[in-house]
């Protein structure tokens, strides 16, 4: 699919969006530190004459609102702002000047898309309903959305829409999918206390390394033998710490890992299984085991009625052929799920791949995306805000 930005938005607006994206990319900021990023967003909103509140809820977040005819409830559009602690290894002329920090997940693009949408919406003679723009910090920590919600970011909001750039789809494609589109993402920590001693006398010890190793292998059977294969899920041990020297049997060990699923009942079953297996192995080998599970971001779940609305908006922008479905489960986490726990909405993916160009995955030190997708995102948000506003004004959507 060949696609050019000039097909859907004015060239001068696209140029401004590209300039903003490149400026943000060159000056990335970590979660909760997006001060310069916020300055640039506010400068753009000032130029558009859009009212906003910065330092929303005591964070670096910004909430802006465009007035519409139905002012009692509104449609929200959300973009994330933060970068990652990664040393950039691209050859881009606008590569990061903040050593060790990089926009390696496209949040610079997401912010630029929302500013582009704000421009298009501000040019409308009238909007059917209020449109709230949420520029959210700290998505990478999984805590930014919760902070915006706690500060009242969803007050009077009836539905919310967001999206993410995605190298798995070509430029000009928008992936709109019913149901789960991102997994829940939880963490676990298992502490093992055995009895240390000399490597030459293992019979006098309880080796925490051996016990931990047994746990690593046993935990892999949870997904393969306890979870319905129709429900995507992951249990990964990402860290194993133990020992102080080559000739010392470790008396203590610690495992840390990630739990991901796309179904709440499976999520809860994974938690129970990890604790059951870890403690059973610990008891079998005479160790004391403590299991700590920390809840992270929830599943991002698109209710079909609202996905249908998003699909209609996407078709207005890229045509029916440009609207696709996610065919493979995305097990990545996304704190947009916190919004969808409170109100309905839809989360989509904006294609960024172009034939003949190598595309590195998100969170890679060489990550980049095709900037033509900025136009797609801006036009989509413009369209979905209007369609959703019309639906809201007529109250034709079922309430949750």
Q: Helix, strand or coil for residue 204? A: helix
3-state SS class at 194: coil
Spatial separation of the C-alpha atoms in residues 255 and 242, rounded to whole Å: 9
Alpha-helix residue ranges (DSSP H) falling in the chain: 11-26, 35-48, 107-122, 144-150, 208-226, 264-284, 304-318, 336-342, 372-394
- For residues 254-279, one letter each, b for 16 or more C-beta atoms within 10 angstroms of the residue's C-beta and e for the rest, the string is bbbbbbbbbbeebbebbbebbbebbb
Q: Could you list the pLDDT tens digit for every one of the 400 residues in the chain?
A: 445 665 789 999 999 999 999 999 999 999 999 999 999 999 999 999 999 999 999 999 999 999 999 888 999 999 999 999 999 999 999 999 999 999 999 999 999 999 999 999 999 999 999 999 999 999 999 999 999 999 999 999 999 999 999 999 999 999 999 999 999 999 999 999 999 999 999 999 999 999 999 999 999 999 999 999 999 999 999 999 999 999 999 999 999 999 999 999 999 999 999 999 999 999 999 999 999 999 999 999 999 999 999 999 999 999 999 999 998 889 999 999 999 999 999 999 999 998 888 889 999 999 999 999 999 999 999 999 999 999 999 874 555 4
Neighbours of 367 (CB within 10 A): 22
**CA-angle at 110, arms to 109 and 116, nearest 5°:** 85
CA–CA gap between residue 153 and residue 155 (Å, rounded): 6
Determine the Cα–Cα distance for residues 225 and 207; give it in Å rounded to an integer: 27
Nearest to 113 by CA among 301, 383, 296, 389: 383
What are the structural domain ranges in the chain?
5-183+299-394, 184-297
- Render the burial of 330-353: b for 16+ CB within 10 Å, e for the rest: bbbbbbbbbbbeebbbbbbbbbbb
pLDDT score for 358:
84
With tokens 């590195």, the residue in question is: 360
**Annotated active-site positions, please?**
82, 139
Beta-bridged to residue 259, according to DSSP, are 186, 235
pLDDT at 7: 75
CB neighbour list of residue 365: distance below 8 Å, 6 or more residues apart: 86, 87, 88, 89, 90, 102, 104
User: Does domain 5-183+299-394 match CATH 3.40.91.50?
Assistant: no
CA distance 93 to 108: 15
By three-state DSSP, how is residue 62 classified?
Answer: strand
> Of 102, 22, 140, which is closest to residue 365 (Cα–Cα)?
102
| List of residues 6+ apart from 214 with CB closer than 8 A | 281, 285
Q: Tell me the two tokens of residue 124.
A: 């409308």
Architecture of the domain made up of 184-297: 2-Layer Sandwich (3.30)
Report the greatest alpha carbon distance in the chain: 83
């Amino acid at each position: 699919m060949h696609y050019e930005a000039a097909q859907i938005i004015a060239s001068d607006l696209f140029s401004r969006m590209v300039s903003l994206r490149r400026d943000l990319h060159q000056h990335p900021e970590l979660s909760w530190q997006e001060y310069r990023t916020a300055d640039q967003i506010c400068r753009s909103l000032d130029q558009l004459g859009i009212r906003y509140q910065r330092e929303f809820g005591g964070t670096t977040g910004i909430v802006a609102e465009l007035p519409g005819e139905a002012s009692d409830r509104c449609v929200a559009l959300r973009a994330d702002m933060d970068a990652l602690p990664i040393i950039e290894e691209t050859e881009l002329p606008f590569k990061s000047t903040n050593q060790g920090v990089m926009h390696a997940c496209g949040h610079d693009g997401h912010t630029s898309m929302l500013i582009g949408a704000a421009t298009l919406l501000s040019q409308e003679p009238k909007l059917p309903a209020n449109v709230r723009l949420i520029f959210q910090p700290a998505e990478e920590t999984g805590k930014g959305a919760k902070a915006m919600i706690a500060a009242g970011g969803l007050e009077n909001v009836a539905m919310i829409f967001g999206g993410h750039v995605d190298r798995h789809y070509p430029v000009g494609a928008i992936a709109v999918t019913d149901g789960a589109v991102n997994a829940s993402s939880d963490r676990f920590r298992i502490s093992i206390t055995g009895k240390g001693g000399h490597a030459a006398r293992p019979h006098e010890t309880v080796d925490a390394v051996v016990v931990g190793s047994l746990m690593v292998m046993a935990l892999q059977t949870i997904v393969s033998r306890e979870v319905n294969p129709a429900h995507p899920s992951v249990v990964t041990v990402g860290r194993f710490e133990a020992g102080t020297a080559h000739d010392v049997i470790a008396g203590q060990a610690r495992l840390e890992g990630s739990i991901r699923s796309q179904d709440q009942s499976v999520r809860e079953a994974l938690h129970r299984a990890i604790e059951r297996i870890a403690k059973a192995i610990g008891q079998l080998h005479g160790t004391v085991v403590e299991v700590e599970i920390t809840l992270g971001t929830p599943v991002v779940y698109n209710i079909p009625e609202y996905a249908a609305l998003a699909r209609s908006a996407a078709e207005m922008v890229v045509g029916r052929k440009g609207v696709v479905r996610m065919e493979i489960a995305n097990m990545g986490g996304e704190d947009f799920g916190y919004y969808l726990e409170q109100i309905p909405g839809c989360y989509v993916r904006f294609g960024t791949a172009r034939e003949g160009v190598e595309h590195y995955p998100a969170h890679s030190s060489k990550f980049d995306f095709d900037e033509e997708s900025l136009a797609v995102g801006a036009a989509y948000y413009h369209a979905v805000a209007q369609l959703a506003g019309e639906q809201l004004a007529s109250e034709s959507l079922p309430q949750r």
